[in-house]
Chain A
Amino acid sequence: MARALITHAHSDHARPGSQAYLCAEPGAGLLAARLGGKANITGIAYGQTVSMDGVRVSFHPAGHVLGSAQIRIEHHGEVWVVSGDYKLDADPTCCPFEPIRCHTFVSESTFGLPLFHWPPTTEVVADLHAWWIANQHAGRTSVIFAYAFGKTQRLLAHLDTSIGPVLVHEAAHRLLACYRAAGVPLPPVAPATDENIRRIAGRGLVIASPTSDPSALLNLSGPPSTAFVSGWMLLRKMQRDRGVGRGVGRGFVLSDHADWTGLVTAIGASGANLVLTTHGYAEPLARYLRENGRPAEVLPTHRG
């Protein structure tokens, strides 16, 4: 592409290879870190409008991760909003979602079924703290599997680090500088090197990548207590798939995506007379919207 507009820096939304990138200012550092130093990236402030060939483009907070944006596109008075990924729940690591009025709203639908209602974040974090303390009493190291970009930093912002030392996966640790540069206060934490893990064994908490192998930790810290943090952990089927009850001890429900109520609320707030649903349970969400008097179509997710 000659010019790519990026909602946020997750790899399924930001691919290398374009000549120029435009994104929301708080996410520019992250995007550079993810795409490599050579990418031509321009960050513009939330709400600021740029014109390109008669199209007015602006970025507005989506509340998904640091720097995530809904992209508002206006041409001859017709307004579209491409929301990327978004959530309505409070997140100390990014600006809150901002509803934008538009004619056409492109919405994700990762959790687009009424199964998904997120428990209050404070409740989840309290459970997580209790689990950590119980592991300390049992002399076990706590290991949380969470995505390196977004989830890890959100967890860090919520964690009570007075309970014990915290280590983060090295890939996630590299991104912390971008967060601090964007003014997000995060507690000081060390990277999860072998030596550090040995040091905090039995009392510390390690935030590891979902793909990392827990058996590697066994030699370093003895048998750890493990947990997986994701919105999918709401479903027992997904918990089983992730090994809860076998290797993985717990599933904590915490998501950076909107739940069912969040999706319906955001779509309602957009005032759009056409909703395009994509990525996830797009079909049932679109049908539900149509049956409730809001025209909606499925926009096939393009994966290239």
Chain B
Amino acid sequence: MKAFAQLIETVRATPSSSGKVAALADYFCRAEPADAAWALALLNRRRSRQLVEPALLRLWAAEAAAIPLWLIDECHQVAGDLGETLALILPPVAGLNTAPRVPVGESSPDPQGPCPPAHGGSAESALSLRQLIENRLLPLSGLDTAAQHDLVLATWAELGTRQRLLWNRLLTGTFRIGVSRAMLARALARQTSIDPAILEYRMMSGWEPRAEDFRRLVSPETTLDDAARPYPFHPLAEPDEAASAQPPAPDCQVEWDWIGQRLQVIRRRGHTILWSEPKGILTDALPGLAQAASLLPDGTVLEGVLSPRHGGGGPAEPPASASPLLRELARRRTATHPLLFIARDLLESRGVDWRIRPLTKRREELERLFGSTVSAWGDAQRQSQKRSFEQGELFENSAIFSRSRANCTRTPNPSRPPPCPLQLSTLVPVAGSEWSAMRLESVCPPGAAGLLFRRLDSVYGGCRREDAWQRVPLSRAKSSADTAR
């Protein structure tokens, strides 16, 4: 607990991220797994909710410190933060007025009782982070106000100023710290010599702040879930406003530059993972897409963009200049519409890393894969429609039937399957004559922001100049086509 409060202080005061990582690594190296598990949960932005009203804390602190409320408010104004104000105004441990409101023995704040609070306690607390959270913080939600009062004051009485600040933040659900998941992974990697990417992936999968889960998290054993880890995304350059107004070089692949979340579709050992940057795993959030992706052969990783379903009756993105209300309505509309994954690269096929092969080869393989997957999708859809129709006959008056009928009325031709949520990024032809004849603006699909140029011999994730992606925003691309004409 003391070590964790100290860590927070150090991380806050250290400007460099390498310094922060060193402090984190040092903490995780020394901490007990049970404490480290909670520390990781807190640092990894698992927010605690507000367990005690800030207004009540203010009253209790006034009582414990024997200070009038107006003076607390003066202090709050100067310090600018209630949690910090209350941590500071409470006098050193011995001077605290912690008379319990609940007669001792009537109600025990901690049913397990491994760590009874010491009233008016000794100089420094020996509470561990786990004890603070499991024996003090979490039980609060089940207590009445009087019992909460006693537990909060008893805990204040045991803590130093820094620890009180942490405790206050946990109480009010306002604990925040500028540490990224990548930094945590780097810190843990120092201790465990496991690839930070694997650690980051494990951190995003399901785990609970328990000692055994923490041990599993940093275990050197590569378990099945590590097989689902993504590749680092290729660096995405800013749109190049100053791109030369020339037709693209003939050794470039040109495609639409989509607006949306970057995503990797990972299919390994019978599992499907949708990994996005920076949101992490989205598999559960996108069931339709995950279902379609499960048709991909094992040992496949695709890279692309998650984009709202445009065209085919889908709503177009309103311009940035549209009123917030309009944009919000559009957002809600797209939220109810399924999302599309537009695949633009292939990183792994048949279990082999394809990233260092030239783009032309990757594209060929990607197109081959898509041919078989999309037809598999069509078959699966026709099958499932047939099934639901049969079910509808069986349960004529059931809710299932009325829902499926409602779906049918919306689909003009029920025998035609809906478009596959996996789409192949369409190429824009680059031959000189076609380029100049094209009116880019009229053929640009909604949701595309411009053009993406990649050299045919470029490798994925490479850092040579010829590997760089060039993004040309639409207005510039249009004028480039105009110039050519």
Contact = CB atoms under 8 A, between A and B. Distances in A.
Interface of A: 113-117, 119, 234-237, 239, 244-247, 249-251, 261, 281, 284, 287-288, 291
A250 B11 CA distance: 11
18 contacts: A113-B78, A114-B71, A114-B89, A115-B75, A115-B79, A115-B89, A116-B88, A117-B91, A119-B161, A235-B79, A236-B81, A245-B13, A249-B13, A249-B15, A250-B13, A261-B91, A284-B71, A287-B71
Contacts of B92: 117
B75 A247 contact: no
Contacts of B12: 236, 245
B15 A245 contact: yes
A116 B70 CA distance: 16
A237 B75 contact: no
A114 B12 CA distance: 24
Contacts of B14: 245, 249
A288 B78 contact: no
Interface string B153-167: 000000001000000
B15 A235 contact: no
B71 A236 contact: no
B194 to A, nearest CB: 26
B144 to A, nearest CB: 29
A227 to B, nearest CB: 9
B11 to A, nearest CB: 9
Contacts of A113: 71, 74-75, 78
Interface in B76-107: 78-81, 84-85, 88-89, 91-92
B330 interface: no
Given A114-B65, A114-B67, A234-B88, A246 B15 contact: yes
A247 B15 CA distance: 7
B79 A284 contact: no
Contacts of A114: 65, 67, 71, 75, 88-89
A117 B92 CA distance: 8
Interface residues of B, number: 22
B79 A244 contact: no
Interface of B: 12-15, 65, 67-68, 70-71, 74-75, 78-81, 84-85, 88-89, 91-92, 161
Given A113-B78, A234-B88, A249-B15, 7 more contacts: A113-B71, A113-B74, A114-B67, A114-B71, A119-B161, A235-B79, A247-B15
A37 to B, nearest CB: 42
Interface core residue of B12, B65, B74, B161 (most chain A CB under 10 Å):
B74
Contacts of B68: 288, 291
Interface core residue of A246, A250, A284, A287 (most chain B CB under 10 Å):
A284
Contacts of B74: 113, 281, 284
Contact of B84 (A119, A235, A281): A235
A38 B65 CA distance: 51
B67 A235 contact: no
Nearest to A261: B91
A272 B214 CA distance: 61
Contacts of A236: 12, 79, 81, 84
A288 B70 CA distance: 10
A245 B91 CA distance: 27
B62 to A, nearest CB: 10
A291 B80 CA distance: 25
A237 B13 contact: no
A244 B10 CA distance: 11
Given A281-B74, A284-B74, A291-B68, A237 B15 contact: no
A114 B76 CA distance: 11
B159 to A, nearest CB: 14
Contacts of A245: 12-15
A235 B70 CA distance: 19
B179 to A, nearest CB: 13
Given A235-B78, A235-B79, A288-B68, A117 B13 contact: no
